[in-house]
Amino acid sequence: MDTHVDIDPAILYFGTPVVLLSTLNEDGTTNLMPISSVFWLGRTAVLGIGGSSQTARNVRERPEIVLNLPSVDLVTQVDRLALTTGNPAMSAAKAERGYVHVSDKYAHAGLTPYGSDTVLPTSVAECPVHIEGTVAALHELGEPKLLAVEVSVTAVRIAPELRLDGHAHRIDPDRWRPLVMSFQQFYGLGERVHPSRLASIDEELYR
């Protein structure tokens, strides 16, 4: 008896954190782009973005970025940025999907710019985690053009309530409630389901 069936899904977003990317426009303003293709390896973040997006144009020309991580309570503001683009020369594919051009993403979403420490794009004040970085490498992937972006982290800033008690540089995973996207739907984390053996390793050993 077969226990699995073969399918050919158009997307493979099984569940990753939502990130609002801040990048610098040509006129010095900050563009915001919501994504959910992101993972981290050590002090490097790897992002997946559309190659024709305003964000792609910005990181090619001005390779500085902020990864703003929203908590679940910011889902309404994040959703306002869906189907928006900072690129006035919108691609036909985006137009067909219902995107509209928005120049001021902060105002459109009801969010507030916050000064960054090591890069020029502003952070999102309401997001409890800001990860600043510089673009280390760009990789074009497949057709239609997609862009994998390697970001070297230069600074991390968090809301104080996320700090693990007794530790200056650790985040309490029981307090951090990231917004997650799975197959185009928003979700949050539940309670911890099981102790992890990996948690017996001191985080400083990864530094």
pLDDT for 110 beyond 90: yes
pLDDT digits (tens, 9 = 90+) for 122-144: 999 999 999 999 999 999 998 66
pLDDT band, residue 3 (cuts 50/70/90): very high
pLDDT (0 to 100) of residue 181:
94
Handedness of CA 168, 172, 175, 176 (dihedral sign): positive
Amino acid at 191: E
pLDDT digits (tens, 9 = 90+) for 59-92: 999 999 999 999 999 999 999 999 898 888 877 8
